[in-house]
Amino acid sequence: MSQIWQERFIAGSDSGNDSNKISVINEKGNIESSTISSVIAPAPTSKAVDLGRDKRKGTDKVLHVYIESDALPSNKKSSYYYVGEYAKTKKDVVQPHYYDKAGGSESQQKSGNEIHAVTTLTALALKAWEKGLDKATVDLSVGIPIREYKDTEGELLEKQYKGKHLVRSVDGIYAGEEVILNIENVFVYVEGVTSYMGITINMKDGDLEVTSEAEKIGEEFGVADLGAGTLDAAVYNEYGLDSEKSDNEHIGTNKYIDEIIKEISNAEIFEDVRNEIPDTMDKTPYRTREEFIEKVIKPVVDKMISDKEGEYQPKFKVEWLFSEDTETVTKIILKHMKAYSEEALGYIKKFRAENRIKNMVLVGGGLLFAYYYFKQEKHFIMPANLEQSAYFTSRAYAIKNYLEHLED
Ligand SMILES: Nc1ncnc2c1ncn2[C@@H]1O[C@H](COP(=O)(O)OP(=O)(O)OP(=O)(O)O)[C@@H](O)[C@H]1O
Ligand SMILES: [Mg+2]
């Protein structure tokens, strides 16, 4: 295996409206992926008073950083930030703007985007600290929407990221650590064009391998990416992405997750809890969608996808102060998951028929979210390594990035 991993991060970032997903090829030649919510907030120069909080594993979510970088907006070249989930409950939080239409969201320009820069640099810094590095050379690949690519050909983005960036951790398990990220190469891909590689190619122990899905789908196929805010449907033919036929719709999990949390928060079984909480406070067991997904949905979905017999019956559990419930909340959750899967499948099936697609692949976090219902569908192709399906785009970018080196 070549030496390029030793001190070089080959990284792909897929920054959605909801989260920034980063995949890095590690020194063993395997892909490691992680997520940071697309949220930042201005932060003070020192950490909150430490009342002897132990450095638990969970505190890698405590992201409070100082960044010195030309990738930041002109008046903020050196700034303190709260990043990701940890920023959500802070003052003056900045999130990608949403517009109400059908509960969907519209992405902002990626070039010059502060949230994208901060979450990407923080994710790379975390990878470096995890590996005990204070310096890392990085080749970064990112995607931008085709419309933006037509305007700039990615040049702005390349200029924004190329060069050295300093990231220091102010709080959390890496408090006091610092890293210089030297981004030597930036590869900008058009969203969707490269993504299929995340399905057809895998990297294992330094070797690229064609996946079993690749053999199933052939040269002409469709891919539906089920996201938090949007559902992207792409058509590929022998020449690659057919951008005319490819389309997207504001169908996403966010809306359904919000409905689930609302219904659970108002459920009769939790009346005693609600009565005890002062009216000036939010009466809900979860502060954010991610908290709900992490605590309630993911553990059950994990069991479901590792159950090869397919007989596992999901039982979700909600704990709220002194109270907990399984039966009622499971009913509520399954009802909304079903509604989401029906809305998504309705769109996908119509798309498939209109474009006469034989092989249709389903990917994205939404596939996992409502997997209980999607797994009952017989005529779609789903990734063999399901747990990676939310990362297929960032994995594709990392793999393409790696291939750029082979081409040199
Ligand atoms: N392992 C999992 N189990 C259950 N749900 C998951 C899992 N992974 C991701 N999800 C959920 O799937 C949804 C879609 O996630 P995804 O990461 O694909 O969205 P996104 O790319 O940020 O959104 P968009 O593409 O619309 O910008 C989210 O609500 C996320 O919480
Ligand atoms: Mg996405």
Instruction: Indicate which residue's Cα is closest to atom 11 of ligand 1.
Output: 365
Atom number of ligand 1 nearest to Cα 16: 27
Q: Indicate if ligand 1 lies below 6 Å from the C-beta of 17.
A: yes
**CA angle (220, 221, 224) in 5-degree steps:** 160
Q: Is any atom of ligand 1 closer than 6 Å to the C-beta of 18?
A: yes
Ligand 1 pocket residue status of 37, Cβ below 6 Å: no
Kindly state if the Cβ of 365 falls inside 6 Å of ligand 1.
Answer: yes
Cβ of 154 below 6 Å from ligand 1? no
CA of 129 to the centre of ligand 1 (A): 26
With b for 16 or more beta-carbon neighbours within 10 A and e for fewer, the 278-294 pattern comes to eeeeeebbbeebbebbe
Interacting residues of 174 by C-beta distance below 8 A, sequence separation 6+: 60, 126, 129
The alpha carbon torsion through 308, 310, 315, 317 (nearest 10 deg) reads: 30
Greatest CA separation for the chain:
66
Query: With a threshold of 0.85, does the pTM exceed it?
Result: yes
Residue type, position 151, single letter: D
pLDDT tens-digit map of 299-336 = 999 999 998 887 899 999 999 999 999 999 999 999 99
| Average pLDDT, consecutive stretches of 10 residues, N- to C-terminus, the chain (408 residues) | 63 89 93 93 84 55 95 94 92 64 46 87 95 94 81 84 97 94 94 86 92 88 93 92 90 96 97 96 92 96 90 95 98 98 98 96 96 96 90 95 82
In DSSP terms, 186 is beta-bridged to 140
> Hey, which of 226, 248, 293 would you mutate to test ligand 1's pocket, going by the most ligand atoms within 8 Å of its Cβ?
293
- Beta strand 207-210 with 323-325 is unpaired
What is the distance in A from the centroid of ligand 2 to the CA of 287?
Answer: 22
